[in-house]
Structure 1
Amino acid sequence: MSQFVVSQSDNQEDHNKNDSITRKISVHTENIINLLIESYGKAPTDTILKILGNLDNSGYIPIELYEKLNEEDFSTEIGKGARKAYQKYLKAKDDKVHALKTINLRDEKLSLIRIIENDTIILRDLLLEHKGYKILDFWATWCAPCRSFNKRFQNHYSEYKDKGIEFYGIGIRIDSETEKDKFLTAIKHDKTPWKQFIDLNNETYNLFGTNSVPYQVLLDEKNQVIKILSHDIHNELDDLLKN
């Protein structure tokens, strides 16, 4: 197996400073989304939907907010546009999942770098380590929502692991020693309890035909993609466990 050589960067102080800024942005983004949800009924719905749209132009609406919205909220021009965008967002996710079911994640050519062991592992072998459901969490160090997830999900990881769902963090777009150093700095700061890997040449990530991060896919026991997850990961996983 090839070795992952960790360089001693002369710019570690810069990495720490840049990573600190990213983590602060992630906290602010998370707080804004929570504030928008809590503001329903206290602030104009159009304002809430407009700000949310500026944060995430995919059409996504947090389920905690969407369940509160009524026909009056959707009667305005902004409301109509938000609902249409949300329905388009859901359909796109469903269509994507259907297409992803043809992906063969047992391809022996797909390799990941194991951070702790400092070597590589074939993705097929990694997936065989856990017999239950799995989540592949593709993320990048500069992605504020990614870092927000690393922070807010730590306390819930053991809960879902005990129920048979395992997580694998996979760093993407890491094509230089500097980027590797940044990834190691981020892992050190985030202290995620789930295992972290680097996607060699983005080969696994590229299978999914997306440019989005964070990008989290749920695999069943047969390692087939059954869901593309969102900010509402708690609700989605709880629904899975109930069923």
Structure 2
Amino acid sequence: MKKIVRQPNINHRFELVSDSFASSDIPRVMPKHEIMEENEDGYCGWKEEFKHLQSLYEEKSDKQPDILEPIEFTYTTILEVPEIKISEDFNYGGIVSQGDIKHQIIDEIIFPDIVLPNKPSKLTSHQSYNIVRNHIKQNINMDVSKITSDYDFCFTVKKKVILSSPRHIKNEILNARGRSYQKRRYREYYVKEREVEVFEMTYFPKCYSPYTPIRGFTGRNHQDLQKNIDKYLKEIMEIINTPLKDCHYCDGMGVIITET
């Protein structure tokens, strides 16, 4: 390790402003140390015998090139990394990238960026919320389940459970004032399915009530983090996309998994 050291100027002198002034009594060049002196106040000025020539001269000097000087230093080895595994940049669905992943503060202090992908990693609750929400919206089977709440702060999925037998519904039709017609009117229809909530979430610190804040994904490293996210999404989609119907033996007290 070296540092740049600037060198002082040399050959300090006074040269005539114009060579036309030169004569036997007025030299073209005079060394600075011969015509200047320092007084008792520390001020450097022209000697008395040369002061009458001061206006004819200008001060000149020559620059020296900078030099490199070695810097002495000592270092202490606090950690040795036997092998650095180079991993691909983390990117999940365009929602979370490498720079969004959080690490322990001590790891960020000790390790260079190239090592951090091999250290414990985590995402925030909000980042995890966005990943799960986006994945469900892209992969949900709308014939089996449906999204009933889809906001930046809360998300809900309900399962469509096929009834063991269609249910007959008869509702009275009311007028604009909310009263019955003189001759009562009815609307009749059959319901073939019921809805059951199978997934809901919000995120910390929003914590929109009464939804459950999703925990941020974690991993031993970036690769493990990716693995844990994939595993969670696979499991949640199996729950959401598995078709169900009421058991006809117990009249809906239980459900049966149907073939897709």
Verify same fold: TM over 0.5: no
Q: Select the structure that is richer in helix.
A: 1
Q: Select the structure that is richer in strand.
A: 2
Which TM-score tier does this pair reach, normalised by the shorter chain?
A: under 0.3
Structure with the larger RCO, 1 or 2 (CA within 8 Å, 6+ apart): 1
